[in-house]
Amino acid sequence: MKRAYLAALLLLAATQAPAQQAPVSEPRDCPACPDLALVPPGQFQMGSTPDAPELEPGRGESPAARLSFARPFMVSVREVTHGEFRRFVEATGAEPAPGCRVWSGGQWIEDPDRSWRDPGFATAPRDDEPVVCVSWEDARAYAEWLSAESGKRYRLPSEAEWEYVARGGTSFPRYWGENDSREDLALSLACDFANVYDASAVDALRLPWPNARCSDRATALALAAQYKPNAFGVHDIIGNAREWVMDCFTASYAGRPTDARAWIWQGGCEQKGVRGGSFASRPRDARAPARGAEPTGHRQSDLGFRVARDF
């Protein structure tokens, strides 16, 4: 009965304009499990057209690929938090190795004393902040633990799923507006929806790239779900912390599966996809089609994750 009700809501949401869609969620699968949003099936164009104004050459986001989602899926409403990850470590004893790349002295440096427990910010991490300084392996281990705790299949989202969610039912590079938040704009709405490198952080971080023309008073990582969600009810999909995805990183979309599946090599790969931008990202890197990659063992103070689950 519950599934039938949710299916009806999904059908209604799929026929409405993005601004009218009502987020659909389910109760938590287990006490340690995160809140999940139900993402409806549909189609979208993954990537950017060759004439997109913020296209990053060499990142493989163009030419775009048309993808279809035949089934709904679940995704965590917010990035996995420090408190949620701490419960995983306490329950399993799977303490990630120390060492994390942090912004210090005007550059990114590898600091052997930093970790997810102490990413090097001005104050100690709070339980409701996104967890950072976690590798792809750390994130996957957390998802596997949730699967064991809940009896449901938790995992990292595929790159296609991630971008579909990040667009929030729109075709825009940012779900809050087609042209908003470009670096050449005099004023940006980004600070209402995402924690990116903006005027608030310039004096604290002094990063060597443009900042968004707005101010959200966050100089680094912000509490999870403090910014407005998209039409799927998902917070911080753009900004705050960059997010691991399941896929191996590829130089283009040529040949990728045309459905939601992650693109994974049989023998494994050294580079995994990273999406979404962070508090330290220049505006053009904080948009749905922007792509990045890191080695699977990489840990950085602006890199976290969220989880997905099959419906």
List the chain pLDDT tens, one digit each, 311 residues. 445 434 444 443 443 334 445 576 667 899 999 999 999 999 999 999 999 888 988 899 999 999 999 999 999 999 999 999 999 999 999 999 999 999 998 999 999 999 999 999 999 999 999 999 999 999 999 999 999 999 999 999 999 999 999 999 999 999 998 667 677 776 688 899 999 999 999 999 999 999 999 999 999 999 999 999 999 999 999 999 999 999 999 989 988 888 888 999 888 899 999 999 999 999 899 999 999 999 999 999 999 999 999 98
Q: Which of 299, 263, 274 is nearest to 166 (CA)?
A: 274
Our count of domains for the chain comes to 1
**Does residue 2 form part of some domain?**
no
CB 64 within 8 A of CB 45: yes
**Does residue 11 form part of some domain?**
no
**Does residue 250 form part of some domain?**
yes
**Does residue 8 form part of some domain?**
no
Q: What is the CATH number of the domain that holds 207?
A: 3.90.1580.10
**Does residue 1 form part of some domain?**
no
Tell me the C-alpha distance between 176 and 110, whole Å. Answer: 35
pTM over 0.85: yes
For 85, counting Cβ atoms within 10 Å of its Cβ (0-12 exposed, 13-18 middle, 19+ buried), the class is buried
Structural domain of 268: 25-310
**Does residue 155 form part of some domain?**
yes
**Does residue 111 form part of some domain?**
yes
Per-state percent for the chain, helix, strand, coil, to nearest 5: 20, 20, 60
**Does residue 42 form part of some domain?**
yes
Which residue shows structure tokens 């990659």?
Answer: 293
Q: Which of 292, 28, 269 is nearest to 163 (CA)?
A: 292
